[in-house]
Amino acid sequence: MVKLFKSIELSLIIKYALRDLSRNYKKISSIIITLFISLFILSSILTIEDSLKKELNDNAKALLGGDLEIDYNRTKGNQELIKQVTTFATVSQMIEFSTMLSTTGRDNNKSLFTRIKTVDAKYPLYGEVKYKPEGALTRIHQEKNTILVNENIFKTLKLAINDSIKVQNQLFTVVGVISAVPDVSGFVTFGDFAMAGAQTLELLQLNNLGSFLNHEYKVRFNEQDNPNVITARIENLFKGDSKVTLRYPENSASGLKRVINNFSQFLSLVSISAMLIAGIGIANTLLSFINQNNMSIAVQKALGFFSLNIKAIYYLQLLILLLIISIIAYGLSFFLVPIANLYLSQALGLNITAVFSLINFIKIFLVGLLVLVIFSIPTINAIDQVQASNLFRNVFQNVQFYYSKKSIFLSLVLLAVLMLLFTIGSARPAYSIGYFGAFFSCLLIFFLLSKFIIYCLKKLNISSNISLQTSIKNITQAKSITPITIMSLGLGVTLLLTLALVGTNFKREIAKSIPEIAPDYFFLGIQNNDLDIFKSNIIKMDNSVDLEVVPIVSSAIVKINGIDPNSYITASNDSYWVISRERRSSWVDSPPVDNPIIDGTWWDLTKPNRLQISLDAKVAKDLNIKLGDTFTLNIYGREIEGDIVNFRLVNYRDLSINFAMLFNPQYANTIPHEYLATAKFKDVSKFNESAMLELLPSLSIIKIADYLSKVTAILNKVFIAVTLISAITIVIGLIVISSAIIVQGKIKEFQNLVFKILGFSKKEVILSSLIEFVIIFCSVILIAVLFAVIGSRFIMQTIFDLVWKFDVTILFYLASSIGLITLLLIMLTNLKYLNPKVYPLIRNQ
């Protein structure tokens, strides 16, 4: 660089770079397009992710519902302590529970399992509730038996304002519809909910486990107070109370943040694949551009330019181009935020707005720069091959990619930096590394495949068909684009086919789980004295019902081997949910059929007075629990110590009755408990929800089909986004192929001219292109299908623990569509080389 500044001012290099760029941008349009598409995808992912996170962080207090939340779970908690808090802060009491909500007085009454929030007049402490009509929120505080429902309940139950609905055995008047609440962090994101006044609790029976009762106290500090001091004061007040959990704004929506992180990591990896494929195209186009400028470079050298100066001009042009494209791509990604907001405000009640982030912009620019530099090193180094002496000889040889040991080393270092950029700070670094490993392995295999095809075709001795001969010659010639075509097409197709296979397998698994494994209904909150009524009523409705009833008790893990697990297990742990709050557990005499024991032994009958625990093997692994470890459980306020005696393989996705913890019945039968039941009907239409609720008003009924349809709807939206991004990867791959054809353009033109002179017909030339395509595409598709099968099988079986099946239809449709589009593109790009003008070519003009 010292030499550079000594010999030529940087300003001069900038001037030449700008001038060249302004006059040559059409020649490098494919660089501009591929770079823009890939940077736009990355920008969109980062911008939407950032906007979402900012919304969550900015509204952390609103999402939590206060500056702090005191959570007593199922119990009302220590009212004396709460009273003390009210002396220095505002406290709003909120009780959430789940119950059945049904229409009444119709021929076909409908019911919905709903989460109801009872709030006092101080609610919300932060943010606002969006509802209509005006005054409805005040009415639920002032009038008894009034309720607000969310838009989905309103639509599903076909309600009108002032209609009556039944909650358990009480009639309520629907006074309004809620479109959004601020404190969504506690809600199941796709669940239905309703809101009622605080007095509602007195009207309902909400002491059973099926109600999922939760007592929360939201606290808002006085503005003049120091939040840290008040927080410390509250922590100090509650430090002796083992039943309480204190939550802070930074913990709000942690589950949602995790989902966002995982999804954005996945999409980022797909987008970097698109960028790396684009890199191949960039290298091609740049090489073609340098070859077009071969004479100009030679003249510059003859005039005394150093090679380094010329390279600097080319690098600078790329840098300027990248800067402009990054700004445009990042700027345009802001327009996607309102579109994303349409879905998010509906699904989560969040309102996101585009947020400018310098760090994100720098990251986008840096990713673009790394990809550009990695792929342009061997191309721009080719400038060294251009000789000024060519000007005397009037002979310009096309330059080739130039790799030196130094440039290979530099490229590898930059590639490692690029990988680190996507790995460090990602939600799951190991997955990122694995993904990059798989990506480069595929790339290498496709490269080797291209060499293998070339090798085999060279060995082939065909003299009968001239078109076939020509196509083989085209594939095997020294400057053939075969490796580039195979690599870019192969990677794009592999990505799309893998995602398509994962998508269809997912849909099939969800669909088939309803008839094959899952029950039709879950029944929660069956009290001891209601059990016989429940059973007889179900059997009366359908005597062939497959009914499974298990006892349940609620317990919280307060200590593991004598230590509070919250002191060393973080919320990022996959099994944090087991220790985060009270969980339902059950007990059985013999191991469940679908929960096989994988370590340890079943109950030790010689110790009936000691609590024995059977634990989910994955939970044990995540929390590092060994056989013989002890859990201290809080059951109805009593701390009971139990030993871990075995681990079970639990598959929660089968939607049958599954528990993380099972107890030994000899001990657990002495604990006060209620029941949970599942029912699979021979004829599901025989089950009458309303009649069952008339009989047992406090019963909660969950229809599995309703629950699954919501999950499927969400998954469908996710897969549309994923498929769209992988389709864009294919588009980039196609641009890369067309750029590779353009690199060959001059050679192709000469070749076709010679063919013309020799008397070839256009038909024969087209046929040779067709054969060329068929040979390449067939081998690519075979390998791509193989990789897609391996990849999708790994994702389904290892990551999601689901059944994988080969779907030939989707592969056939996708493969033939991609093939057709690629063929069309190759034909279109070749079209202009089909009619070479003889005179300019033979006169070397």
Residues at the contact surface with other proteins, assessed by CB under 8 A? 3, 7-9, 12, 15, 19-20, 23-24, 295-296, 298-308, 387-389, 391-394
The Cα–Cα gap between 462 and 771 comes to: 14
Q: How far is the CB of 286 from other proteins (least distance, A)?
A: 17
User: What is the closest distance, in whole angstroms, from the C-beta atom of residue 7 to other proteins in the complex?
Assistant: 7
Which one, of 790, 840, 153, 737, lies nearest residue 482 by Cα? 737
Closer CB to other proteins, 120 or 384, in the complex: 384
Query: Least distance from C-beta 746 to other proteins, angstroms?
Result: 15
Read off the tokens for 271.
């987008």
Q: Which is nearer to other proteins, 309 or 792 (CB)?
A: 309
Which amino acid makes up residue 668?
A
Look up residue 246 and give its amino acid. Answer: L
Q: Which is nearer to other proteins, 295 or 823 (CB)?
A: 295
CB of 397 to other proteins, least distance (A): 15
Chain centroid to Cα 251, Å, comes to 21
The nearer residue to other proteins, 395 or 803, going by C-beta atoms, is: 395
Least distance CB 31 / other proteins (angstroms) = 17
Measured CA to CA, the distance from residue 664 to residue 600 in angstroms comes to 14
Helix (H) or strand (E) holding 219: strand 214-221
Three-state secondary structure string covering 55-94: HHHHCHHHHHCCCEEEEEECCCCCHHHHHHHHCCEEEEEE
Helix ranges, 241-353 (H): 254-292, 294-302, 307-333, 336-347
Least distance in Å: CB of 3 to other proteins? 7
Whether the Cβ atoms of residue 75 and residue 215 lie closer than 8 Å to each other: yes
AA letter at 640:
I
Smallest separation (angstroms) from other proteins to the CB of 841: 17
- In the complex, what is the shortest distance from the CB of residue 320 to other proteins, in angstroms, rounded to a whole number? 17
Report, in Å, the least distance between residue 392 CB and other proteins. Answer: 5
Contact 745, 288 (CB under 8 A): yes
Of 505, 500, 503, 508, give the one whose Cα is nearest residue 817: 500
Q: Which of 414, 485, 388, 391 is nearest to 446 (CA)?
A: 485
Nearer to other proteins, 7 or 624 (CB): 7
Cβ atoms within 10 Å of 800's Cβ, excluding its own: 15
Cβ nearer to other proteins, comparing 25 with 750: 25
CA distance 14 to 279: 24
CB of 15 to other proteins, least distance (A): 8
Q: What is the distance between the alpha carbons of residues 167 and 699, in angstroms, rounded to a whole number?
A: 11
The residue to which tokens 């070839």 are assigned: 760
User: Are residues 525 and 698 in contact, defined by beta-carbon separation less than 8 angstroms?
Assistant: yes
Nearer to other proteins, 763 or 843 (CB): 843
Token pair 């959990």 is found at: 245
289/659 with CB nearer other proteins: 289
d(CA 720, CA 709): 16
Closer by beta carbon to other proteins, 393 or else 405:
393
Q: Least distance to other proteins from the beta carbon of 474, Å?
A: 27
Determine the Cα–Cα distance for residues 49 and 261; give it in Å rounded to an integer.
Answer: 8
Cβ atoms of 348 and 283 within 8 Å: the answer is no
Compute the least distance from the CB of residue 383 to other proteins, in Å. 13
Residue 108 tokens read as 């076909």
Helices 762-794, 482-516: crossing angle, 10 deg rounding: 40
Q: What is the Cα Rg of the chain in Å? A: 34
C-beta closer to other proteins: residue 47 or 390: 390
Question: What's the closest the beta carbon of residue 403 comes to other proteins, in angstroms?
Answer: 20
CB 696 within 8 A of CB 674: no
> Largest Cα–Cα distance of the chain, in whole Å?
105
Provide the 3-class DSSP secondary structure of residue 96. Answer: strand
Report residue 341: phi and psi, to 5°: -65, -35
Tokens of 563: 């230590």
Q: In whole angstroms, what is the distance from residue 40 CA to residue 34 CA? A: 10
Q: How far is the CB of 287 from other proteins (least distance, A)?
A: 18
Q: Per-residue DSSP letters for 603-662? A: --TT-TTSEEEEEEHHHHHHTT--TT-EEEEEETTEEEEEEEEEEE---GGG-SS--SEE
Query: Do residues 839 and 778 lie in contact, with contact meaning Cβ atoms separated by under 8 Å?
Result: no
Nearer to other proteins, 196 or 298 (CB): 298
User: Please, which residue, 389 or 709, has the CB nearer to other proteins?
Assistant: 389
Considering the complex, state which of residue 320 and residue 702 has its C-beta at the smaller distance from other proteins: 320
How far is C-alpha 257 from the chain's CA centre?
11
To other proteins, the closest distance from the beta carbon of 310 in angstroms equals: 11
Taking a C-beta distance cutoff of 8 angstroms, is the pair 466, 764 a contact? yes
Q: How far is the CB of 23 from other proteins (least distance, A)?
A: 5
* Comparison of 6 and 638: residue with beta carbon closer to other proteins: 6
- Nearest-angstrom CA–CA distance, 572 and 375: 37
CB of 8 to other proteins, least distance (A): 6
Task: Compute CA distances 25 → 69, 293, 321, 505, 525, whole Å.
Answer: 58, 13, 9, 45, 70
Q: Nearest distance from residue 281's CB to other proteins, in Å?
A: 23
CB nearer to other proteins: give 289 or 787.
289
Beta bridge partners of 563: 560
Select 286 or 499, whichever has its Cβ closest to other proteins.
286
Nearer to other proteins, 293 or 700 (CB): 293
* Beta carbon nearer to other proteins, 305 or 663: 305
Query: Residue 783: CA atoms inside 13 Å, Cβ hemisphere, count?
Result: 24
